[in-house]
Structure 1
């Protein structure tokens, strides 16, 4: 697998560096030690923070209406997409705005607005977003639209298994307030390659005509060019009980189920089973005790 061509990102790391961070497809860094851990069932993004963002966050909040107007206009003008703003988080010299698309394609992403700390103002006319981050988000949403039946099977499975076993996913509020990974559910998110030749014509068509119906979008999809290396479904589940460590039997059961299912989307799957807690400041749940099926031993559906 050519892992260097695919950028897998963690939103926190990406925003701190100000650009996409390179890494192996599906590789997730463990959270810091036990400090600042909160229940996954209660976590809504509160406590999430970026370096040196305390003052800029206060400035941004005092200009919240201006930021929201600029963000909505930015996504409409550049991506022909209506979004709602869920959260604004300060960072060094800027503020990060977490948004969710309205309708389909559905996705979560973010934009960044510069903040002048000395003047205590936001520079709304210089708002920007990482082009790949937004492209990844829209492409993931388009994949979910085109293969809605296959994703429906996957979603039904997670709804069922989380009732059957003592496991759960993230809250919807956490996705809204600090998600930013593209198409997301409480159980997984989609990653796509910017050079994915199969979905690229659909993405281009959407930007040209966002009102294209589902059949037109499906017709634009180049199935013969699909490459599993360019499409990943990243699964993260959590133990429901606070005192529970990740259980090997549950991990094996979910892994086996995914390997044996025939009607779920084609692609490369990674799977992490975490304990009950999320690190509030980073929004991540993967730790040293997490059980994982990821690089280099992915679950592959062809």
Structure 2
């Protein structure tokens, strides 16, 4: 299973080049001249998680393409919606556009019974001032993984609601917060996501594959039929990584080990949350704006490979 997760992590890292995420393993810290992490955070680099909605996120070489895309917003949105409908039988709502070297990365949210966030890339020909709507593409596996993760959440709705409930209680009882929904909409884009976690699932999950095939043939398939298609004998908890991301609510406080331990113990002790592999991350109050990134040198965590939390 560890080999599989190394491959999945590599795939996610590639997708994040175009898709933005909170809480991956990048380490970016502002240091003073003597090497200490005590320089006040720059407003143009960092923003409090309490207010961050994705402003400042960027991709290399995309300024001109982003301006052109936003001037032709209707064409870009239509191209993405048509592509997702034709290729994946999925209706979407577009939230944000971020220019890249060859076009624009579009952040969208699925609509309908399944709920996930993802990205699509729309090429732009600046020389001829044209949105290349017939050449929309997505990184391999990104949409499929989003649909499969959303299907898992759909089939086990009660367990997911319980996870949301206990994480919401932790937010209320401790000096911690999750992300704003606007940030997830604008710069999330990596599948099933909530203010408290994102689900990183394998595209090779054999348990969900028959459900996926049935759904893709007919999105109106009743939930009971989809659940019957789920192959429990093939289910492997490590195929589903729940990456929990909390932030300190107080801008002046560092990540607290005691709070992290309470989050970990809450997950370990719960018997009614979804089966899967859980990673727990606690950051300070700030996000690196241009990368939509919370993980920094002072972040603390419990996760693979150092300490796995597997819920069968």
- TM bracket, shorter-chain basis: over 0.9
Q: 2:9 — aligned with what?
A: 8
- Secondary structure of the residue aligned to 1:7 is helix
RMSD of aligned residue pairs (Cα, Å)? 1.8
User: Does structure 2 conserve the Cα–Cα contact (< 8 Å) formed by 1:79 and 1:207?
Assistant: yes
Partner of 1:144: 153
- Counterpart in 2 of 1:23? none
- Which residue of structure 1 aligns with residue 176 of structure 2? 167
> How many angstroms does 1:29 deviate by?
2.3
Find out whether 1:123 has 2:142 as its counterpart: no
Q: CA deviation at 1:206?
A: 1.0
Aligned to 2:99: 90
1:231–1:267: 8 Å Cα contact kept in structure 2?
A: yes
> Do the aligned partners of 2:15 and 2:142 also contact (CA within 8 Å) in 1?
no
Does 1:298 find its partner at 2:300?
no
Q: Deviations over 1:120-165 (max 9, x none)?
A: 3221111111240101111111011111111111000011110111
Provide the rounded CA distance (Å) in 2 between the counterparts of 1:54 and 1:174: 20
Do the aligned partners of 2:24 and 2:295 also contact (CA within 8 Å) in 1?
Answer: no
| Paired residues of 1:12 and 1:282 also in contact (CA < 8 A) | no
Contact 1:63 1:121 in 2 (8 A): no
SS of 2:192's equivalent in the other structure is coil
Offset of 1:214 from its aligned partner?
A: 1.0
* CA deviation vs aligned residue, 1:92-130 (integer Å, no higher than 9, x gap): 011001000112210000100111132232211111112
Partner of 1:29: 26
2:69 corresponds in structure 1 to 60
For residues 204-215 of structure 1, the aligned pairs below 5 Å read 204-215=213-224
CA distance in 2, matches of 1:172, 1:215: 30
Contact 2:54 2:289 in 1 (8 A): yes
Separation of aligned partners in 2, 1:15 and 1:159: 26
Pick closer, same or farther for the CA change 1:217–1:32 going to 2, 3 Å.
farther
Question: What TM-score do the two structures reach when normalised by structure 2?
Answer: 0.90
Aligned pair count reads 295
3-state SS of 2:141 partner: helix
Secondary structure of 2:9's aligned partner: coil
> Aligned-pair distance for 1:275?
0.4
Structure 1 pair 261/136, CA: closer, same or farther in 2 (3 Å)? same
Helix, strand or coil at the partner of 1:81: coil
Q: Distance in 2 between matches of 1:174 and 1:293?
A: 24
Match of 1:98, SS state, is: strand
Is the aligned partner of 1:113 residue 2:110? Answer: no
Alpha-carbon contact 1:114-1:127 (below 8 Å) kept: yes
In structure 1, the gaps of 5 or more residues are 20-25
Partner of 1:181: 190
Between the aligned partners of 2:150 and 2:119, the Cα distance in structure 1 is 15
What is the TM-score with the length of structure 1 in the denominator? Answer: 0.93
User: Deviation at 1:224?
Assistant: 1.1
Residue segments in structure 2 that go unaligned for 5+ positions in a row:
31-40
1:43 partner SS = coil
**In structure 2, distance between residues paired with 1:283 and 1:186:** 14
Which among 214, 219, 242 is matched to residue 251 of structure 2?
242
User: What secondary structure is seen at the aligned counterpart in 1 of 2:290?
Assistant: coil
Number of the residue aligned with 1:49: 58
Q: How far off is 1:9 after superposition?
A: 5.9
